[in-house]
Chains A and B, each alone.
Chain A
């Protein structure tokens, strides 16, 4: 048996990404970054804005997510998310746009503490990509 397990990332519109031989996945879980290796205990958690990094034998891929749910079970990792980009595909202007709209969201008065925290996170991550 190798060290690989399966990953599938789905968004509401389609199956976004899947790979059968990943070695490690690092997800930005709500309570801190979490690395998942083969034979991890079954877990359900949700994501805050951040970078998902997928290490497979041949490659390393990075995705930006805004939110989502991770489920790991029987060496199947499923990530459900409504907004995700491959870092390779995203261009600078788009990042700047996202930062701008998020900053506007924060400026609204009735924003809740949690939403503000998440928005701050998002901006931080986006800046770090840029």
Chain B
């Protein structure tokens, strides 16, 4: 059995770990609130954008000459995957969930004989992927300096994707991120952004037709690149809310585990102290009896 001194030290160290995890949990909770707020505030933009694109693409006259971002290159050979993860660790399964999802997608791609290219956003994803897929990663972007997700960063990623698309480096682009459901649940998502999947929701489908100025094609080709950035930005917002949520619950668990450990160690400490006292008493008594 460990000596009393050792036990004391261990209790102290677990307690200080607990303090750290508790503090991290509180910080994550505060950040989560902010991230959730900005995710909510960002929603109108992407919704409106989606609506307009829906209206436009249903009104488009010439499907053949539709912008490539909408209709695709006609090929399905080279896939670009944008894997979005966090820059910091200690957030439970947040990053591993995205990576797991991405890896299973990669496996499917290589089974189908498709070529794979990867852009990682966030250093944690890069760390996890570079072992197995190092030669496939064409770029790694990390926004360690920015305090919270902002559109400027998303635009940078978006422009890079579009530039590569323009240079015909890939045919299909998919982004991977965690969708925030609640603090405990985050759902890893794979969303295809090029070519765009226009969901034909029938509800507000052109009862009233729009006037376009200039024509649809030109607006669309102007709008679609923006939409890419918007989608990436949306993913970034969801991701940052998910990251904080995941970190919060992970730290909550850690704090609780540390508490249990302290309890267990304290009991052990008390027992061994008692045992030592009893032992000494017995020694004294038997010493006195033998006299």
**A interface list, Cβ under 8 A from B:** 8, 10-15, 29-31, 34, 41-46, 67, 69, 71, 73-74, 78, 80, 82
**Shortest CB–CB separation between residue B49 and chain A, in angstroms?**
6
Q: Is A10's CB under 8 angstroms from B210's CB? A: no
**Shortest CB–CB separation between residue A85 and chain B, in angstroms?**
14
CB-nearest residue of chain B to A82: B151
Q: Which of A11, A12, A71, A80 has the most CB of B within 10 A?
A: A12
Q: Is B45's CB under 8 angstroms from A46's CB? A: no
Q: Is A12's CB under 8 angstroms from B45's CB? A: yes
CB-nearest residue of chain A to B223: A69
Q: Is B52's CB under 8 angstroms from A13's CB? A: no
Q: Is A42's CB under 8 angstroms from B211's CB? A: yes
Q: Is B219's CB under 8 angstroms from A10's CB? A: no
**Shortest CB–CB separation between residue A122 and chain B, in angstroms?**
16
How many residues from B make CB contacts under 8 Å with A? 30
Contact with A along B208-233 (1 / 0, CB 8 A): 11111110000100110010011001
Residue in A11, A43, A44, A46 whose CB lies within 8 Å of B151: A11
Describe A's contact surface by its main secondary structure: strand
CB-nearest residue of chain A to B44: A10
B56: Cβ under 8 A from any A Cβ? yes
Q: Is B212's CB under 8 angstroms from A44's CB? A: yes
Given A71-B51, A80-B48, 12 additional A-B pairs, CB 8 A: A11-B151, A12-B230, A14-B41, A15-B41, A42-B208, A43-B211, A44-B56, A44-B211, A69-B52, A71-B210, A73-B210, A80-B45
Please name all residues of chain A whose beta carbon is closer than 8 Å to the beta carbon of B222 when the two chains form the complex. 46
Q: Is A15's CB under 8 angstroms from B38's CB? A: no
Please name all residues of chain B whose beta carbon is closer than 8 Å to the beta carbon of A43 when the two chains form the complex. 210-213
Q: Is A44's CB under 8 angstroms from B219's CB? A: yes
A11 to B230, CA, bound (A): 10
B142: Cβ under 8 A from any A Cβ? no
Q: Is B154's CB under 8 angstroms from A46's CB? A: no
B67: Cβ under 8 A from any A Cβ? no
Please name all residues of chain B whose beta carbon is closer than 8 Å to the beta carbon of A74 when the two chains form the complex. 208
CB-nearest residue of chain B to A43: B211
Q: Which of A15, A29, A44, A45 has the most CB of B within 10 A?
A: A44
A29 to B41, CA, bound (A): 26
**Shortest CB–CB separation between residue A92 and chain B, in angstroms?**
23
Q: Is A44's CB under 8 angstroms from B38's CB? A: no
A14 to B34, CA, bound (A): 13
B150: Cβ under 8 A from any A Cβ? yes
Q: Is A82's CB under 8 angstroms from B155's CB? A: yes
B42: Cβ under 8 A from any A Cβ? yes
Please list 12 pairs of residues, one from A and one from B, whose beta carbons are closer than 8 Å in the complex, sorted by A's number.
Answer: A10-B44, A12-B42, A12-B229, A13-B38, A14-B38, A31-B213, A31-B214, A42-B209, A44-B213, A46-B223, A69-B49, A80-B49
A29 to B44, CA, bound (A): 22
Q: Which of B38, B44, B208 has the most CB of A within 10 A?
A: B44
B55: Cβ under 8 A from any A Cβ? yes
Q: Is B48's CB under 8 angstroms from A46's CB? A: no
CB-nearest residue of chain B to A41: B211
